[in-house]
Structure 1
């Protein structure tokens, strides 16, 4: 499965104001960045900041509002003209310098190093579009030792799911059964990830982290491939129709407040990223605690660095290793859970955490 993005149309696509309207009006996205920046005014005060891929410049303005003494706003598309006007509109021309350049080609006066880098680089399933590469290049070129990254880490999660909104309606569509059409629809959609909203109730098992990205340390080569093999017991009886993929981004915790996290999961408020679903060509009926085994590979395309190929392989739960403890109903996993539970209870009794039942005072 793949999503196409060519180098030639990547930057010009971001000149479309409708894309920026969509991102600006994404309340969880914009408000999370605002809280992460303005909630750390003590840190940003008198700091030098770089905004990679500044777009309209709103993150740069948040940094200026937080007290940064200088912000270098880097933008490769022709949106720089608009960004400069917005900076002027907000009276930050003396603080924010908008630079028309790819960050890979940008230079700062006197080989200046910055205190922090902010960027909204995330694509569908986190890595689509490959903008994180540019952020890591900026880090290596411009960030001071010990400088901060906003966000500083990200996690990709996966979980099996149902997608009833795509298929259930075809069993009785205006009084006509179109199950044959639904079957062909599933087959046609299984070659490309679907961007859609999945509700928490349609997840069929607990999520597992597929990848954890450390923006302070990871290299561009570290982003080339990710893979996870997993077995999970179905959390309820249902139709296993796909694998749901989403991400979280964590911002530095520099003040006494709680950590700021941007989540795009089914349990979170909907963002423009929604969730990414890898659809199965044929659905599978599963019972509660029935094992669901899969292998998911995410590999950077060799011909286009901004594109990833996603490959889902369904595995036989009898033939692969299960996590310990496992949530499925296979006999070996049930026995392991029983043994682990007994061992834990014994250890707690040995440490006095669990006391024997007290004698009845009347006896």
Structure 2
């Protein structure tokens, strides 16, 4: 990684006003009800000025004018805010940091750090307010791409997939779809590509040019093209498409549609796609802590005398609104109560229209008796190279990526016994906010002797907006495993699942559903 992104080849964001929040400056406030007009999902900062103002315990004025720099220090990717004579005001290790959008033009960056002096760990944050939504989007995209570049679970996997499959790239024409900072284009050039066309529609294209120009031996074989893949024209067909089109739950941000369009427009009939296919994994889960946490958010609206105002008329809407937010976090895989199933999207065969609506039937057999609080989801993608097949997984228990996992929490839990069937449907409908509305239904059936004569005895459903998740900052809880089912019995090994997948015939539509355990 250091050969491509090092301390001398860094992104800078000058003239930013920031507010640094220490642990003592945080305050607890009652949560407002979720609003469909606000955006909780991180969009993607351009080389222009951003400002931020808020109370700060670490700066007398509450504001600091700084230069923000993304850079690589060995294997670590860092975001530093420099002031004056290059003094570092605060720095974040992107491996343990998260960035959240508070509004379309305001964001907060949070990380955990350990104080050797106090021998305790704390969280700290920097608040930034951008002049335009486009600046905010560009900064978010830079943050995620540099964060991805720091770990084996992100660009490290891409790098390995490309370099280990040099035979697929040597003297070939490559198109990088949604190139962002241009890192993947540089990987392709390193692998011996004859020429790489890096297509990027946002202002990140300026950073791609900056990064690529900082690598002159590779620059001569890379052309940066600003525009949408649906509109740009290229002088030749591509042998390889490379991209990072994945969002939360694989499909959020709807970048997969552009990836498929690029395939139809630019790829030769026998060309390859990196990644080649993706799988959405799903399993029912039980998490009393999470359920109570979400339900308790609505308690604020049960007050009938809040400064003389009766808030109870909004309680029902608030309760429903909190459960309409899918939860994005990292959870303990021992919370799963049945083996996972997965739904496969074959990028090399599927049509763009297949992504407008995604219908996934659900069928599980509970391994333990417990309360089911909803459906847990994650994804993985396959780089099907000629020499080596590489998987990038976001599974619970695997190294955490910036995609985390996602859980749909039902407002009405289901009660199950070991051996009882759980059925249902997950229906995703694309919408104009570059995301999906999620319709989840889960039911339980009679179990035991005579179950075939029984019917559905419980049903619970929910409607969630993938664009408006609840980014949960807590770490996975150290749950004790008290049931008689061991984790390895609930989840097959990644290797076994990959072998099973590669041996099956994929339908001509490129979309299949498979019953099996998640990695």
Report the TM-score range of the alignment, normalised by the length of the smaller protein. Answer: 0.7 to 0.9
Distance in 1 (CA, whole Å) between partners of 2:172 and 2:298 is 61
Question: Is structure 2 residue 388 aligned with structure 1 residue 265?
Answer: no
Question: Is structure 2 residue 151 aligned with structure 1 residue 22?
Answer: no
Partner of 2:167: 42
Partner of 2:260: 136
Partner of 2:231: 105
Asked if structure 2 preserves the Cα contact closer than 8 Å seen for 1:187 and 1:280, the reply is: no
Q: Number of matched residues?
A: 311
Asked if structure 2 preserves the Cα contact closer than 8 Å seen for 1:187 and 1:282, the reply is: no
Asked if structure 1 preserves the Cα contact closer than 8 Å seen for 2:181 and 2:205, the reply is: yes
TM-score, normalization: structure 2? 0.55
Distance in 2 (CA, whole Å) between partners of 1:179 and 1:251 is 41
Distance in 2 (CA, whole Å) between partners of 1:165 and 1:24 is 33
SS across alignment from 2:402: coil
Question: Is structure 2 residue 354 aligned with structure 1 residue 222?
Answer: yes
**1:181-196 aligned within 5 A:** 181=299, 187-196=320-329
Partner of 2:514: none
Asked if structure 1 preserves the Cα contact closer than 8 Å seen for 2:149 and 2:156, the reply is: no
The correspondence for 1:69, drawn from 182, 194, 199, is: 194
Partner of 1:361: none
**Change over 3 Å in CA distance of 1:179–1:147 after alignment to 2:** closer
**Change over 3 Å in CA distance of 1:329–1:85 after alignment to 2:** farther
Post-superposition CA distance 1:248-279 (Å, at most 9, x none)? 11111301x4x201111114221111111110
Q: Larger relative contact order (C-alpha < 8 A, sep ≥ 6)?
A: 1
TM-score, normalization: structure 1? 0.77
Offset of residue 57 of structure 1: 0.8
Offset of residue 162 of structure 1: 2.0
RMSD of the alignment, in Å?
A: 3.1
Compare the two structures and name the one with the higher helix fraction.
1
Offset of residue 37 of structure 1: 0.4
Offset of residue 196 of structure 1: 1.4
Distance in 2 (CA, whole Å) between partners of 1:166 and 1:332 is 32
Distance in 2 (CA, whole Å) between partners of 1:20 and 1:36 is 17
Compare the two structures and name the one with the higher strand fraction.
2
Offset of residue 179 of structure 1: 11
Post-superposition CA distance 1:170-220 (Å, at most 9, x none)? 99xxxxxx79959988754321211111221011111112x3111111111
Distance in 2 (CA, whole Å) between partners of 1:137 and 1:169 is 41
The correspondence for 1:238, drawn from 357, 364, 370, is: 370
The correspondence for 1:290, drawn from 402, 417, 420, is: 420
Offset of residue 90 of structure 1: 1.7
Post-superposition CA distance 1:198-246 (Å, at most 9, x none)? 221011111112x311111111101121223333221123331110111
Partner of 2:405: 275
SS across alignment from 1:243: strand
Question: Is structure 2 residue 271 aligned with structure 1 residue 147?
Answer: yes
Structure 2 portions without partners, runs of 5+: 1-33, 45-103, 105-131, 303-314, 453-519
**1:192-203 aligned within 5 A:** 192-203=325-336
Partner of 1:207: 340
**Change over 3 Å in CA distance of 1:10–1:247 after alignment to 2:** farther
Structure 1 portions without partners, runs of 5+: 172-177, 319-327, 334-363
